[in-house]
Amino acid sequence: MKRIVTRTTLAGAGFLLGVIGSALILAPRDFLETSHVFMENDPGLMSELAAPAGILLITSTLMLTGAIKIRLADPALSIGAIVYGSYGTGRLISMVLHGLPSDSLVAAMAIELAAAVILAGLRFAGWSRNPRSDAEDDLRGAIV
């Protein structure tokens, strides 16, 4: 049961990062406008948005891999907690320094911080630990 929760959490959180990262790279203006953030079509700004989008896509891939290969779940949980926590904390600091953004961005911050706490909690509670050896798990994965 614990491994199902870990895998489901990694898959859901990883999928969400993949969707957001893809939207930021492929259609940044449209994506940001859903949060009432409007911008010009500036290639420099597009580049600045693509850089963190790449991190989101890489983290998404690692989290989805951890959902499939349980022996990689611990690093996937850790990386996910760091990325979600970084985004949520960055938004919180921005709110203190620059004021409140749209409600959807405040909600995004709450989701990011909650995801970071959940991912870190699963990681440090040992919910991804495999009672069998890695070799036995690899063998089982090869058969299935």
Q: pTM for this one?
A: 0.84
For 48-91, what is each residue's pLDDT tens digit?
888 999 999 999 999 999 999 999 999 999 999 999 999 999 99
> What's the pLDDT score for residue 94?
97
Q: Which of 5, 3, 12 is nearest to 115 (CA)?
A: 12
Burial category of 116 from C-beta neighbours within 10 Å (exposed 0-12, middle 13-18, buried 19 and up): buried
From the CB of residue 14, how many other CB atoms can be counted at a distance below 10 Å? Answer: 23
Average confidence score pLDDT of the chain: 89
Q: How confident is the model at residue 139 (pLDDT cuts 50, 70, 90)?
A: very low
Place of tokens 């990062």: 17
Q: Residue 69: what are its φ and ψ, rounded to 5°? A: -105, 100
Distance of CA 38 to the CA centre of its chain: 24
The 3-state secondary structure of 21-58, one letter per residue: HHHHHHCHHHHHHCCCCCCCCCHHHHHHHHHHHHHHHH
Section 5-18 average pLDDT:
96
